[in-house]
Amino acid sequence: MKAVLVVGARPNFMKAAPLMREFGRRPGIEALLVHTGQHYDENMSKVFFDDLELPAPDIHLGVGSGSHAQQTARVMTAFEPVLEEQRPDVTIVVGDVNSTLACSVVSSKMHVPVAHVEAGLRSFDLRMPEEINRMVTDTLSRFCLTTCADADENLRREGVADERIFFVGNAMIDSLLFYLERAARSAVLGELGLVEGGYALVTLHRPSNVDDPAQLAGLIGVLGRLSERMPVLFPVHPRTRAVIDSANIALPPGEGVRLVDPLGYLDFLQAMRHSRIVVTDSGGIQEETTVLGIPCVTVRENTERPITIELGTNVLAGIDPPGVEAAIAGALDSEKRPHTVPPLWDGKAAGRIADVLERHLSK
């Protein structure tokens, strides 16, 4: 079986690493890693490849940044010759970024089966570009590889046949569990002067939170008040940094809110596992904090990962700064929520994915 595995942005890399490791153990699978270059700088790409020990991409498309339409079109144009030359038995796409959508469309039109890792997640909010990417990719996928039971139900409601749905677990958690011990050797807390369990960790990058300077300024004000209780570590996404700089958003006085460049995977994992609370608008972090048992306040109106609220440690706060502040206070002042690790979030999803593909595609 010959597979092309596509990655484009940081969230993809954590899901691709266990797959490449698993494929490498199976002599019946030849896997080519294609990096579209959607995230392309040192902090957003290379350092994650290094930390996750991902092999150098077999093919790098180098599409770079641009509008959603521009980026999607560039990936499609660059990916088509790859399929023409390689003629794989399957294209594996992960997550919900533009690269995922683009390579699914090209593969489908060239009659190459698509396997979607993390299929079936839905926020039911079509204002999110990721929701459109998820829906179109799942419609085109021969193999919808899901992380949880509610994803299966979402797909069935949309008319996806049962023979296309495979509940395999969460490849993101494969990486989390595999690298925990290695992350423990990170010196990031000492370098930043942080004490285990004594600080908040923040990530914000979604357009609804950072593109409007007034909204972002309101959230930074919330972080300033949080910093009166504990230090706040804020690795700043390039998108967020650009708005802070261009709009001259005032930062809280003193060093209570620590703005730093994006962290590598191992450093971030170490910072997350020892934080008192995480405030984020990321999808994957909702899952990771659920497994680690860290309180998580999600700064969004909805989530495509409701299982992290039902079973895990996640609280959905909305994006209104007073509501976010109240959710943070509630999470800090209440007893630690009991949590359950969702079924099949056990570090073995990559093996189940490989089993599915070998069973259906091996010649």
339 noted as active-site residue: no
Look-up of token digits 């609370």? 277
* Per-residue CA distances from 10 to 13, 96, 107, 115, 172 (Å): 5, 11, 22, 19, 11
Catalytic residue among 68, 205, 237, 274: 205
CA distance 24 to 38: 25
Q: Which of 181, 247, 179, 257 is nearest to 225 (CA)?
A: 257
CA distance 226 to 248: 21
Q: At what angle do helices 10-24 and 171-183 cross, to 10 degrees?
A: 90
Helix intervals (H) in the chain: 10-24, 47-51, 68-86, 98-109, 129-140, 149-157, 171-183, 188-192, 207-210, 213-226, 238-246, 265-273, 284-292, 307-310, 321-333, 349-361
Total number of residues shown for the chain: 363
Q: List residues with catalytic annotation.
A: 205
